[in-house]
Chains A and B, each alone.
Chain A
């Protein structure tokens, strides 16, 4: 426990340092944040334009979908803010940079995570939080008490896929393109009510690739729409736990692969 607390404290210190570094390039920071926000905003603009003609999508109103969109985007940003450095893991392995990481007396994952700070994800977070607040039904304590773990749980579901696939690159497998594709699937399909897809697709997005657990199920709970889910309401209430379980598993995979790491020798 003491070791985890130390790792978290050092994570905070190191990440702050990378953030200060990134903020030195002021114009680039502004452009990155704006680009992140425009990127996510254009996805929502599609929903908005479609629902201008059709007021209901899979039984959800524009406001409800905006809330779902905001919930997913906030979870996504929360996942990618600390994990965006994993994008460069292939490079760290190929250049032998990871050797240095392994020699230092701090959890290697914490060190890799703090290599850089993704400013584009700040734009994601801003868009997500704005949508979440603007579109939310009137808040009460119970809702806040569920929403916070739901966002964290959703972030952990996404994070577990990124981490486990990234750890394969420790064995010289390049999974960057595959990770990009999965990220795309989570972003695109996770932002709609699953009732839009129905049938096999909904089943796959629930039980094979748990996209539905990131935002759709928690949003159904918060909007009181659990009646139309394809799982019992209890599963939806417990959805934040899946993220914790999957991330624990993904971390095991990471540790396993790290033991098999062989330096490239450069």
Chain B
């Protein structure tokens, strides 16, 4: 069980490293994004010491982290599944003795690892631009981020499976990416979201991929809030596991293999 999955992870890793020039440009775009956010937020803060409980320094550190996290955790598997369902190659994935969902999850894990390797040279630049200092809550940060990553992978697995019905997940996965990044709080911390938008952002699970870990890192969330976040994350994972299992049981019975 473990060996084939390690193989899939290796494929994911190589896939990421194969498109180096694309990744370099994506990393440059990431640096430009953090730079832009820094400029915009510094300008609007002006002389204000604090807004919504965040100093400018804490906010800039938050934004750098949230963007690094978003870059590293953006899922690739909906795109892979989209391509393989459209060309009929999903047949090969399904005929392997290892389950389809574990294969995809392993591929994603390898791909993320590759992304972290590519990201390594950019980290010092982003940290410098975003002025980040060590955190007082390393354990809470690592734990909430890891659980957030698991939620992110499970959500993208769900999109892959939806492809078995719609046969077309390109636009859905792009929409998912836009919506998840916005509600993860990569450009604005959730504490700034007004009214109903704030309530919605708090209720959705996307905040665990960006806002929650980054806010814990800079000390905006602490103590009981960290424990509470972890409990809710574990509940999300359990709920998504049940949902995935139920959807998958129906999905693989209605597989369509495109020929050609």
A residues with a Cβ closer than 8 A to B are 28, 31-32, 34-35, 38-39, 42, 45-46, 49-54, 56-58, 174, 177-178, 180-181, 184-185, 188-189, 192, 195-198, 201
Task: Compute how far the CA of A224 lies from the CA of B181 in the bound complex, rounded to whole angstroms.
Answer: 36
Bound state CA distance, A39 and B25, in angstroms?
A: 20
Interface size class of B (residues with CB under 8 A): 20 to 34
Q: Of the 9-residue stretches B32-40, B133-141, B207-215, which lies at the interface with chain A?
A: B32-40
Q: Chain A residue with minimal CB distance to B40?
A: A196
Identify the stretch in B106-114, B192-200, B232-240 within 8 Å (CB) of chain A at 4 or more residues.
B192-200
Q: Which of A32, A35, A54 has the most CB of B within 10 A?
A: A54
Interface string of B1-37 (1 = CB under 8 A from A): 0000000000000000000011011001100110010
Indicate whether B229 reaches chain A with its CB closer than 8 angstroms.
no
Taking A50-B40, A57-B43, A181-B25 as contacts, is the C-beta distance between A42 and B182 under 8 angstroms? yes
List B contacts of A39 (CB < 8 A): 174, 178
B66 to chain A, nearest CB (A): 13
Candidates A42, A49, A184, A201; contact of B194 at CB < 8 Å: A49
Which of B21, B51, B175 is close to A174, meaning CB atoms less than 8 Å apart? B21
**Is there contact, CB below 8 Å, between A177 and B22?**
yes
Contact A196 B188, beta carbon cutoff 8 Å: no
- Name the residue on B nearest A41 (C-beta): B178
Assuming the contacts A49-B194, A181-B25, asked whether A188 and B178 have C-beta atoms less than 8 A apart, the reply is: no
Known: A52-B194, A181-B25. A197 touches B33 (CB 8 A): no
Is B203 close to A, CB under 8 A? no
B171 & A31 in contact (Cβ 8 Å cutoff): yes
Q: Report yes or no: A35 in contact with B174, Cβ–Cβ below 8 A.
A: yes
Cβ-closest chain A residue relative to B187: A46
- Give the CA-CA distance A58 to B42 in the complex, in Å: 10
Tell whether B44 is near chain A: CB-to-CB under 8 Å: yes
Measured in the bound complex, the distance between the Cα atoms of B216 and A98 in whole Å is 54
Q: Which of B137-192 contact A (CB under 8 A)?
A: 168, 171, 174-175, 178-179, 181-182, 187-188, 192
The answer to whether B52 has its CB under 8 Å from any CB of chain A is yes
**Can you pick out 13 interface pairs between chain A and chain B where the beta carbons lie within 8 Å of each other?**
A28-B171, A32-B171, A35-B174, A49-B188, A49-B193, A50-B41, A56-B44, A57-B44, A177-B21, A181-B32, A188-B33, A196-B43, A198-B43
Task: Decide if B192 touches A50 in the complex (CB within 8 Å).
Answer: yes
Whether A53 touches B25, Cβ cut-off 8 Å, given contacts A32-B171, A197-B39, is: no
What's the least CB distance linking A141 to chain B, in Å? 35
Chain B residues closer than 8 Å to A57, beta-carbon distance: 40, 43-44
Inside 8 A of B179's CB, which chain A residues have their CB? Answer: 38, 42
Q: A46-B188, A49-B197, A177-B24 are in contact. List 4 more A-B contacts (CB 8 A).
A: A49-B193, A49-B194, A188-B36, A201-B39
Take A31-B171, A177-B22 as given contacts and tell me if A185 and B32 are in contact as well, using a CB distance cutoff of 8 Å: yes
- Report Cα–Cα, A50/B168, bound state, in Å: 35
Which chain A residue has the least Cβ–Cβ distance from B174?
A: A35
Give the 9 A-B CB pairs with smallest separation, nearest first: A177-B25, A54-B44, A31-B171, A196-B43, A181-B25, A46-B187, A52-B194, A49-B188, A177-B22
B175 and A38 contact, CB distance less than 8 A: yes
Which of chain A's residues have a CB closer than 8 A to the CB of B44? Answer: 50-51, 53-54, 56-57
**Complex: how many Å from CA A192 to CA B21?**
28
* A47 and B220 alpha carbons, distance in the complex (Å): 22
> What residues on B are CB-neighbors of A51 within 8 Å?
44
A189→B36 contact, CB < 8 A: yes
* In the bound complex, CA of A58 to CA of B40 (Å): 9
| Contact present for B188 and A50 (CB under 8 Å) | yes
B40 CB contact (under 8 Å) in A28, A184, A185, A192 = A192
A241 to B39, CA, bound (A): 29
Nearest chain A CB to B63 CB, angstrom units: 11
- Considering only CB atoms, which chain A residue lies closest to B195 in the complex? A52
Most buried by A among B24, B36, B192: B36
Residues of B within 8 A of A50 (CB): 40-41, 44, 188, 192
Residue numbers in A under 8 Å from B21 (CB-CB): 174, 177
Closest to B22 in A: A177
A53 in contact with B192 (CB, 8 Å): yes
- With A42-B182, A189-B36, A192-B40 as contacts: A181 and B29 at CB distance below 8 Å: yes
Contact A181 B28 (CB under 8 A): yes
CA distance in complex: A190, B106 (Å): 40
B33 to chain A, nearest CB (A): 7
Bound Cα distance A184, B22 (Å): 13
Closest to B178 in A: A42
Q: Give every chain A residue within 8 A of B33 (Cβ-Cβ).
A: 188
- A184 and B29 contacting across the interface, CB-CB below 8 Å: yes
Assuming the contacts A181-B29, A184-B29, asked whether A52 and B192 have C-beta atoms less than 8 A apart, the reply is yes
The chain A residue with its CB closest to the CB of B36 is A188
Expressed in whole angstroms, the minimum distance between the Cβ of B259 and any Cβ of chain A is 20
